[in-house]
Chains A and B, each alone.
Chain A
Amino acid sequence: MTQPGHPTSSDWMQFVYNDVSIEQKSELEAHLDQCSSCRSDVDRWRAAMSQLDQWSLATAQADPMSARHATMHINSLPSSGRLVFRPQRATLFAASTACVLLAFLAGRSLTSAGVVDTVALRADLKRELVREIRADLAVSLRGEIEPLLKAQLASLKPDASSLLPLIETESSRIAAATVASWAQQDSAARAGMQQMLAGVLENQLSLRSDLETLAMQAEAQILRTRRELLRLAATTAQDDGAPLIEAPDGDDRSM
């Protein structure tokens, strides 16, 4: 029962549990210094509090396995008959990251009364979650695709090495075929040229023969003509008694 002029029991309860401001604490301590009745009450309460302190229990957080075990029983309890509980781990990497963000966003979203502004929190969460998910997915894709590409490239290497003999064989075949083709073409050209040269030579030989023949004929005609002239000259001289044309020296061929 609070006495007039004394702090209330609420004041003392907050005092003994250190739930007062510095100013209030000073005032209450000053009152205790002057009031044996309140001092006795405070001492009695603190003694009881000290007794209560003897019953200490573990305060450490539960390990994840025990927590998972505890939550596995949720759907087995009568009050949760409608509950479908599927213990699952946060498989999404980004969800965990988002959870980290939520801690800071929740702090930013606290109103002056200490109540969480859920609207602002959810808006911030959406923006940050999208950004973080994109970044984390990009990292994950690079981390997954790059090894995959490397593995595929490594698997392709044997195929490339096995193709080399085929490539070499084919190249050789093509080269040989090309050389053969060139050789064939060259032979044909050579034969044609040879044939042409042979024809030319034949023509030349024929022409030479003809020219020789003509030359012989011409020479023979010239001789005949000279002889005729000589005969005519001789005939005339016999008629006149003097030669008109002297026979060339050494030319004593008779008609």
Chain B
Amino acid sequence: MSVAGRVSPAAVMSDEAVMLLVCARDDAGAFGELVVRWQQRIQNLCLRLTASMHDAEDAAQETFARAYAARSQFQGQAAFSTWLWRIALNATIDLQRKQRPRETDGNSPDDALSRDQEPSLAAEQTESVQAVIQALQQLPDDIRTVVVLRHYEGLKFREISDVLGVPQGTVCSRMTDGLNRLAVMLRPAAHGLSSHSASEPRP
């Protein structure tokens, strides 16, 4: 948000500083800056966890609603990102729990792609991507959460440990388990890319 040609605060202000301002002033406008920054990432997280654009949007909105409602609880002891990730994960879990009774099989690959008849999510994806989406949905929730946070959102293992409230060793163990399972589920495609397997470590 720029004012009269001045530098936009969002360009240089930390998330923690903005959140403290929100807490101090009940400033919904400042909270909007955080929404601008985080909405896409939160929605991506929710999408990868739910494989449903509709659910991802609902979960993302619920995340920010809960974050604003709980703004007084943010005291700056933890990073804002850690706090927000935790809210997003809980919102997604709660949303899936509400929807689970309606599903015949929450982990069915067909259900994962046909949920809410989302042609956009399936239609845009190649077969390999569809395989990835299905494989992720077949992972246990706790493992899928670690895989998505580490691999797609780039959180360090210690950050994931803070978000989930579990030891870092547990996080790494779940990640190992997740990659092992994905390697098996994606094996046909993985074999096809075996010549590229010796890639450089991820940043």
Interface residues of A (CB under 8 A from B): 8-10, 12-19, 25, 43-52, 54-55, 57-64, 66-68, 70-71, 73-74, 77, 79-80, 82-83, 85-90, 93, 95-100, 102-107, 114-118, 121-122, 125
Q: Is B65 touching A74 in the complex (CB atoms < 8 A)?
A: yes
In the complex, are the beta carbons of B36 and A83 less than 8 A apart? no
Q: How many Å lie between the Cα of A95 and that of B26 in the bound state?
A: 13
Q: Find out whether the CB atom of B193 lies under 8 angstroms from the CB atom of A47.
A: yes
Identify the closest chain B residue to A104 (Cβ). Answer: B12
Chain B, interface size category, equals 35 or more
Contact of B186 among A51, A59, A77, A88 (CB under 8 A): A51
B140 interfacial contact with A, CB 8 Å: no
Known A74-B68, A79-B65, A97-B6; contact A68-B32, beta-carbon cutoff 8 A: yes
Query: Using Cβ atoms and an 8 Å threshold, which residues of chain B touch A102?
Result: 9, 13-14, 17-18, 20-21
In the complex, residue of chain A having the shortest beta-carbon distance to the beta carbon of B24: A122
Q: Chain B residues with Cβ under 8 A from A18's Cβ? A: 201-203
Q: Can you name 30 A-B pairs with beta carbons within 8 Å?
A: A10-B168, A13-B176, A45-B180, A45-B183, A47-B194, A48-B190, A51-B128, A52-B132, A52-B152, A57-B47, A61-B39, A64-B36, A70-B61, A77-B61, A79-B62, A79-B65, A87-B32, A89-B1, A93-B3, A93-B6, A95-B21, A95-B25, A96-B3, A99-B13, A100-B9, A106-B16, A116-B20, A116-B77, A118-B20, A121-B16
Question: A61 touching B37 by the CB < 8 A rule?
Answer: yes
Give chain B residues whose Cβ lies under 8 Å from the Cβ of A64. Answer: 1, 32, 36
Contact flags (1/0) for B148-177 with A, using CB distance below 8 Å?
Answer: 001110001100000000001100110110
Contact A80 B65 (CB under 8 A): yes
- Are B199 and A51 interface neighbours, CB within 8 A? no
Which residue of the partner chain A has the closest CB to B182?
A48
Further 20 A-B residue pairs, CB within 8 A, beyond A13-B176, A102-B17:
A9-B172, A12-B176, A13-B175, A44-B190, A47-B183, A47-B193, A48-B179, A50-B193, A51-B128, A51-B189, A59-B44, A61-B37, A70-B60, A74-B65, A80-B69, A83-B68, A90-B3, A98-B21, A99-B9, A121-B76
Residue of B nearest to A93 (CB): B3
Question: What is the CA–CA distance of A62 and B182 in the complex, to the nearest angstrom?
Answer: 31
Interface class of chain B by DSSP: helix
Is there an interface contact between B182 and A14, defined as CB atoms closer than 8 Å?
A: no
Residue of A nearest to B125 (CB): A55
The answer to whether A116 and B64 have CB atoms under 8 Å apart is: no
A19 touches B157 (CB 8 A): yes
**Does B102 count as interface, using CB distance less than 8 angstroms?**
no
Q: Are A13 and B172 in contact (CB under 8 A)?
A: yes
- Chain A residues near B104: list those with CB within 8 A: none
**Of B7, B25, B147, B202, most A-chain CB atoms within 10 Å:** B202
State the CA gap A122–B23 with chains docked (Å). 12
B131 cross-chain contacts in A, Cβ below 8 A:
51
Closest 4 CB pairs of A and B: A99-B9, A102-B17, A10-B172, A118-B76
- A46 to B202: give the CA distance in the assembly, Å: 9
Closest beta carbon of chain A to B47's beta carbon, Å: 7
In the complex, the chain B residue whose C-beta lies closest to that of A20 is: B201
- Cβ contact within 8 Å between B172 and A50: no
Which has the most chain B C-beta neighbours within 10 Å: A54, A55, A116? Answer: A55
Q: Is the CB of A17 within 8 A of B202?
A: yes
Known: A49-B202, A52-B132, A55-B133. A17 touches B150 (CB 8 A): yes
Q: Is the CB of A71 within 8 A of B28?
A: yes
Select which of B48, B64, B172 is within 8 A of A70 by beta carbon: B64
On chain A, the residues within 8 Å of B18 by CB distance are: 99, 102
On chain A, the residues within 8 Å of B126 by CB distance are 54
* B40 interface contact, C-beta 8 A: yes
Q: How far is the CA of A83 from the CA of B64 in the complex (A)?
A: 12
